[in-house]
Amino acid sequence: MSSFRQHSFKLVPGEHATELLNAQAHIWNHIFNFINSMSLKCAIQLGIPDIIHNHAKPMTLSELLVALPIHPTKARNIPRLMRILIHSGFFVAEEMIGNDEEERYALTDASRLLLKENPLCVTPFLLAMLDPVFTKPWHFLTAWFQNEDLTQFDMAHGKMFWDYGGHEPKLNNFFNDAMSSDARW
């Protein structure tokens, strides 16, 4: 047996177990990292930052559920979405002391940059970059490295980006909005 096997994968209690667990956690963080981006996109599309902002004070879950444009059967999933967004630093949960009140959701500096009325709003850029038109090419990264195609975008959509944009008004519009949003910075 090679010394690599003997030393790297030993699972003697206390020996290398922590390193293996940390390595697995690191891999899992990368595997599931897309959940953070997609949860943020969902929050934007549901209008959560603007709803909390327009409430003019932190909101309880009950208040947020009344204001959200969601199907009633999905309400039980909003706390899960909010936990992801709190963990990602887009909202904070303020616990109320006494009276057994619900925690209240408030904006962070990051979520303030998602408000429609903010002149430095990055929402158009975020929505464009997370649109399937832009995320689909990433599924072609390996194949792109292995062939002569110029871009992953061409592989994914059968056209170069500018040709595709010239025939797809939706892409043209949100790309222009995204670039305008980014240019403000």
Quote the pLDDT of residue 176: 87
Please determine, for residue 9, whether its predicted confidence score (pLDDT) is greater than 60.
no
Number of domains the chain is built from: 3
Helix (H/G/I), strand (E/B), else coil: 150: coil
Q: Residue 140: CB partners within 8 Å, gap ≥ 6?
A: 152, 155, 156
Do 42 and 96 fall within a single domain?
yes
Which of 78, 96, 114 is at the close of a domain? 114
Do 153 and 171 fall within a single domain?
yes
Q: What pLDDT band is residue 5 in, cutting at 50, 70 and 90?
A: very low
Do 108 and 156 fall within a single domain?
no
Q: Phi/psi class of residue 134: alpha, beta or left (left: φ > 0; alpha: ψ in -120 to 50)?
A: alpha
Do 67 and 110 fall within a single domain?
yes
Do 136 and 96 fall within a single domain?
no
Quote the pLDDT of residue 93: 96
Tokens of 67: 């204001």
Which of 68, 96, 114 is at the close of a domain? 114
Do 48 and 2 fall within a single domain?
no
DSSP state of 92: E
Helix (H/G/I), strand (E/B), else coil: 94: strand
Rounded to 5 degrees, φ, ψ at 99 are: 55, 15
CB 40 within 8 A of CB 81: no
Do 127 and 154 fall within a single domain?
yes
Quote the pLDDT of residue 71: 97
User: In the sheet that 104-107 helps form, which strands lie side by side, from edge to edge?
Assistant: 59-60, 104-107, 91-94
Quote the pLDDT of residue 95: 81
How far apart CA 133 and CA 151 sit, in angstroms, is: 14
Q: Residue 67: CB partners within 8 Å, gap ≥ 6?
A: 51, 55, 59
**CATH number of residue 50's parent domain:** 1.10.10.10
Q: What percent of the chain has pLDDT over 90?
A: 72
Considering only CA atoms, which of 150, 130, 129 is closest in space to residue 140?
150
Name the one residue in this structure whose structure tokens are 């619900």: 102
Please determine, for residue 15, whether its predicted confidence score (pLDDT) is greater than 70.
no
Quote the pLDDT of residue 132: 94
Do 23 and 44 fall within a single domain?
no
Q: pTM for the complete prediction? A: 0.83
Do 66 and 94 fall within a single domain?
yes
Which of 114, 149, 170 is at the close of a domain? 114
**Top-confidence residue, 65 or 175:** 65
Q: What pLDDT band is residue 57 in, cutting at 50, 70 and 90?
A: very high
Do 6 and 67 fall within a single domain?
no
For the segment 60-104, what is each residue's pLDDT rounded down to a tens digit?
Answer: 999 999 999 999 999 999 999 999 999 999 999 998 766 667 899
Please determine, for residue 127, whether its predicted confidence score (pLDDT) is greater than 60.
yes
Q: Which domain holds residue 80?
A: 37-114
